[in-house]
Structure 1
C-alpha cells in the first residue's frame, strides 16, 4: 500500500463541494440503508412500479435489438406474476431460476418479487453434482429454465427432488414470439400471454425481512450455500447505489455483462438505474474485443465490472477511439490499484464507484467520495481486527477480546450484527453460527466474520487485501477448495487432493492449484480423462490451472489440516520443489507437464489466463 492512499482530513475536505451537490440523494440513500420498519412495503417489485410511474415510456431493459420501456417491462412481469399465482405459487414459496443474461431472467425475478416468491438464482455455469445440490437445497415448488440451459438440467433431472412444474423460455425474444420449448417443459411465454398486465396487490405485501432471492456462494467451505437475500437488503443497496453513490439519472444507461445470478449485476448494477428510472443494458457474455463497440451502440453512460473485466479491457491494444464513449461512471469490485488511474485516464472515466460487499454479509463499503484505490466508506458498524495467519484465527488478549488494527495496518474485517445490520445467514443454521464471532469486544456482542483481510486507511475507508480460509477468487468468482477437492477425490486414480489458490503475475485473484497423490505413476495417469471429468463436474473458473504431483503422504498440521501456506508460497515454481507440475494452458484441452521454458512464459505474460 502506498502512503498516498491514506485518507487525510484535507483530502476529505476537498470532496465536500461535490458531496453538497448530491446532498439530497445522499440523505435519501442514507435513510434507505438504515431502514428498520417491518410494516412498510418495499423491495424490488415496489421499486419497479415506482420507476414505471416516474418514466413509463423511458427505456428500462435493453438487450441486443430489443428495447423495453418501463410500461412494457412492468406489464410483462405482471403477466408472469398473474400466471404463477394462478398455478398456486404464493408468498413464501421458492422457484429455481436458471436463465442466462436476457430480459426473460429480469422479468421472471420481478414477477417472483411481486408475488413474494423467492427466486433461487442458479449459477448458470453449474453442472453435475453441484447443480443437483443447488436445486435440491432450496426445495423449489417450480423451476423456470432458459432453453440455453435445458441440456444441463436434463443431465441431472432424474436426481432432482422436483418432479413437475418445469417451465421454459425459448432462446429468443419470447415477448414478441413465444417460440417452441423442449418436451417435458411448459412454455411460460405462451402460458402467460393472456394474463393480467395490471400491478398485483401482492406487490404491497413484501416487507423488510421477506426473502427476495437466493444467491449461491461458495462461502468458506463445502458445496455452494444458498444465501437468503431479502427485500430489506435489496432496499438498502437501492438506497446506497441508486441514490447515494452513482448519481445516475433517467437518461443514463448502465451496461452489464456480469452474470445476474450474482449480486453485483442483479442488485448493485440494476438497482442503480431503477432508482432514477434509467435503463439497464444486458449482454449475454463478456467480450473484451466487442465491449466498447457495444457501449457505443447503446449509448451507455456507466458499466458494471469485476476486477478481471477491467484488466481484460486494459490489455486490449490501445486505439484512437478509446475515449470515444459516453461512460462517466463505473461500479463494481476488484479494480486493481496497479491499473486504477491508467484505466480511468485511458477511457476518460470520471468516477469509480468501487465497492465491497458479499451476498451473505452485513457490512459494505462504497466509494462515495470518489477516492482512488479504495473500496470506499462504510456507514455501518465494523471492525478490522488483528489476525494470526499462522494459527488461522483472530488475536485475542488476556480477557479473550479482539484488538483493532491501527491506521495503515491490515486485519480481519468483521461486521457487527445489530437490528440495523442483521446477518440473515444461510439455509443451514449450523453454517450460519460458524460465521459468527461472539464476545469480540464486550460480553454478548456478535460479529459476522467476512473472511476477508482489509486495511484501515482512515476516516472509515478501507482497502481490500486478500481472502482468508478455504476460498479463493478467480475470474471474478469465489472458488471453494473443499468442493474442488471432493470432485478431484472422486476421480479414479486420485488418492488424495488439496486445493489452494496461487498468484500468477499480472492477473487478478488466484488461479486454482491442486496437489494430488496418485495410485500410480503420473506418466501413466489419464490426464485427458481427468480434464473431461472436471469439465463435466465443475464450472470453468473452478477447474485447477495447475496440478502438483505428490508421491508421498500430504503434509498436515497437528490438527490434521493441510499445510497450505507453504504450498501457496512454492506454487508452480519448479525451482522450489522436486515434484512434477502440470498446467492447463489457455486454449488447451488437457494438462501438460510444466518445464522451465513454459513456466517462464507463464510468469512473463505469454499466456493469457
Structure 2
C-alpha cells in the first residue's frame, strides 16, 4: 500500500487525539451545521462574545502592539458608528486596500457590525486590474492605507463611487494613538473615527448570518478578477469547522499569520479559527523565511497559517539548533506537498497539520480532521470525481450527455453538488457564476460547482490534491488567470499573439507562469526587457511570466484553437533553433536568455525560485 493511502487502521490510531478534542468538536459541529440564514449570528457578534468572555486577553499582536478583545471590539464599534454617520447602511459595500495590520481587521469588523460588506483588494494589484476589481463592487468608499497610496492614486480617477467622501485614508502608524496627515482628496478616517463612542451601534435592521460580509477576488477563466461574495455564515463555518473541530483553539493559543488578509485562507480560515478560541492572531505584513522563527518565539505562537510555498521556503533554510525551539505544534492551510509533509513535521516538531481544501467562492470544502499525512481530509458535502478532457477543466460526457465518475484511486475533476444546504454563492457577475455551474451532470435538473481542480481518493473518503486545471494555475500561493495575463500582454503593443500557461519547475510548489509569443512584425526584434518593464507596471509580481518563449508562429488546430497541451509539455526546454527562451531569474530585474547549462541548473534545483 502507498504511504499516501489512508486506511481504517490509520483512522483508528488517530482516535485518542480526536477523543481529547471531543468537547471542542461537539461545539464545532453545532456552529458548522447551522443553516438558519436569518439568525443574528455574525462576525460582529463573534467579536462581541469574545470581548465579554476573554476581554482582557490579546486579540491582535502586531510589531510592538497588543490589542485586547475588549479594545478591539470598542474600536470596531467606533468604526461602525462612523460609517453609519456617513450614511452607510446594511447592504452597502466598501473596498479595503491595506496591508496586513490591525487596521484592516478593525475596518472589516466595524463594517460587519453594521451589515456593510468589505471588498478585500489584493495589495499586489495595480493599474487596470486594480481599477477593474474596485468597479466590480462599486463601493461607497475605499479605505486606503498610506503604504498603498501611490498605487491607488494611479487609478482613482477611473473609479465609480457614490459618496461625498469616497476616499478614506489610514496613516501607516498606530492609528489608535496617531492619525497622521491625510493627502489632498482623502478623509482622515482614524481622526474621524476617534470622535465616536465605543458602544455597539443602534440598528433597526441588524445583519444576519446569510448577509454578505466580504468580497474576495479570484482569478478565473473570464480573464480579469471576479468578486466572490462571502456571507457571515462562512465565518461561522470556519469558526466551527477549523477553529474548534480541527484545531481546538483556546484563549492561550496564538496563531501567527503572514498570509495576506485579502485571501480566504488568512481572513476566513486563520482569523475564523482565532475567533473560535478567543485566541490572538499575530500579524506580519509579508512572509519572511529568515524572520519566521524569531517572530514565532517572540509572539509565543502555537499555531500558524500556511500555504505550501511558505513551507518549502522554511524547509530550504539551513537546519539549525533552533528548529524546535518554539511553541508551534499546529498549522492550518493548504498546498503542503506530500514530498515534504513528513520531513516538515519531523524537522520542526509539528504535531497537527490541519490541511484543507476550499475556494473563496465554492460550496465544498475538505478538512484533515483526523490529522492524516498527505491528504486534504474528507468532506461531508456531496461531491464526485469525474473524468475530464486532458489539459482543461471540462468534464467528459457520455453518449447520453451525462458525466462519468473515475475509478477509485484515479485522478478526477472535483465537482460539488449545489443544494439548499450546500449553496453556491458564486460571483457578483451572473455570467461568471453560470460558467462555474455544471448542469444535468448525472440526471436532468441537477447542478454542480466545477472546482477546476483534480484530486484523487486515497482511502476512507480522504482525498489528495493533484493539479489545478484549465485557465488558472497557482504560483507563489496565488491563483493566476492565464486570460488576464494574456489580455495585459496584448495591451503592450509588442506582440501579435500570446498564450499563457503554467509550467512545473522541479522542487517548487504550483506552476510558474510562461508565455509563448509571436512578436509584432515590424522588422525589429522583440525588446524582451521592455516587455518585462511593461508587465511589472501592470501585473502583480506573482503573475509576471517567469519564462518567455519567443517564436515565429504558434501552432493551432483545424478549428483555430491553440495546441496548449503540447506547448505546456515543452515547458522551458530549448527546442527549435529559431526560438529563444528567456527566464526571470531570482533577484534579477529582467529576463535572461536561457542556455543549456542554465536549463540544467534549473532542472537540478540549483536556481531557487
Superposed counterparts of 1:51-450, under 5 Å? 51-162=50-161, 164-202=165-203, 205-389=206-390, 393-450=394-451
Bigger drift between 528-537 and 399-408 goes to 399-408
Residue 516 of structure 1 aligns to a residue whose secondary structure is strand
1:477 equivalent to 2:483? Answer no
Q: 2: CA distance between counterparts of 1:193 and 1:203? A: 24
Q: 2: CA distance between counterparts of 1:557 and 1:136? A: 37
Q: 2: CA distance between counterparts of 1:521 and 1:335? A: 47
Structure 2 match to 1:585? 585
Structure 2 match to 1:562? 562
TM-score (norm 2): 0.97
Q: 1: CA distance between counterparts of 2:110 and 2:574? A: 54
> Cα RMSD (Å) of the superposition?
1.6
Q: 2: CA distance between counterparts of 1:577 and 1:208? A: 61
CA gap of 1:187–1:108, structure 2 versus 1, over 3 A, is same
Q: Deviations over 1:124-144 (max 9, x none)?
A: 010000011011110111111
Bigger drift between 139-148 and 34-43 goes to 34-43
CA contact (8 A) 1:42 1:204 kept: no
Structure 2 match to 1:596? 596
CA contact (8 A) 1:406 1:456 kept: no
Q: 2: CA distance between counterparts of 1:127 and 1:249? A: 39
CA contact (8 A) 1:405 1:456 kept: no
CA contact (8 A) 1:34 1:420 kept: no
User: What's the CA shift for 1:318?
Assistant: 0.6
Q: Deviations over 1:490-529 (max 9, x none)?
A: 1122111000000111011100000010124898322222
Q: 2: CA distance between counterparts of 1:171 and 1:532? A: 28
Bigger drift between 586-595 and 347-356 goes to 586-595
Q: 2: CA distance between counterparts of 1:30 and 1:535? A: 46
CA contact (8 A) 2:250 2:278 kept: yes
Q: Deviations over 1:435-476 (max 9, x none)?
A: 111122222111100000000112221000001100010000
CA contact (8 A) 1:116 1:202 kept: no
Bigger drift between 572-581 and 133-142 goes to 572-581
User: What's the CA shift for 1:219?
Assistant: 2.4
User: What's the CA shift for 1:489?
Assistant: 0.9
Q: Deviations over 1:417-447 (max 9, x none)?
A: 1111100111111111111111222221111
CA contact (8 A) 2:90 2:205 kept: no
CA gap of 1:392–1:355, structure 2 versus 1, over 3 A, is closer
CA contact (8 A) 2:387 2:406 kept: yes
User: What's the CA shift for 1:601?
Assistant: 1.6
CA contact (8 A) 1:113 1:203 kept: no
Structure 2 match to 1:504? 505
Q: 2: CA distance between counterparts of 1:392 and 1:377? A: 22
- Regions of 4+ moved over 6 Å: none
CA contact (8 A) 2:574 2:596 kept: yes
Bigger drift between 113-122 and 14-23 goes to 14-23
CA contact (8 A) 2:494 2:531 kept: no
Q: Deviations over 1:523-554 (max 9, x none)?
A: 832222212111110000000011101112x2
Q: 2: CA distance between counterparts of 1:490 and 1:220? A: 18
Q: 1: CA distance between counterparts of 2:550 and 2:35? A: 54
Residue 537 of structure 2 aligns to a residue whose secondary structure is helix
Bigger drift between 307-316 and 428-437 goes to 428-437
Residue 585 of structure 1 aligns to a residue whose secondary structure is coil
CA contact (8 A) 1:33 1:235 kept: yes
Q: Deviations over 1:103-151 (max 9, x none)?
A: 0000000001001001010000100000110111101111110000111
Q: 1: CA distance between counterparts of 2:428 and 2:180? A: 36
CA gap of 1:194–1:20, structure 2 versus 1, over 3 A, is same
Q: 1: CA distance between counterparts of 2:558 and 2:365? A: 36
5+ unaligned residues in a row in structure 2: which ranges?
none
Residue 224 of structure 1 aligns to a residue whose secondary structure is strand
Q: Deviations over 1:173-222 (max 9, x none)?
A: 11111122222111111101020201224498222321001000002331
5+ unaligned residues in a row in structure 1: which ranges?
none
CA gap of 1:52–1:173, structure 2 versus 1, over 3 A, is same
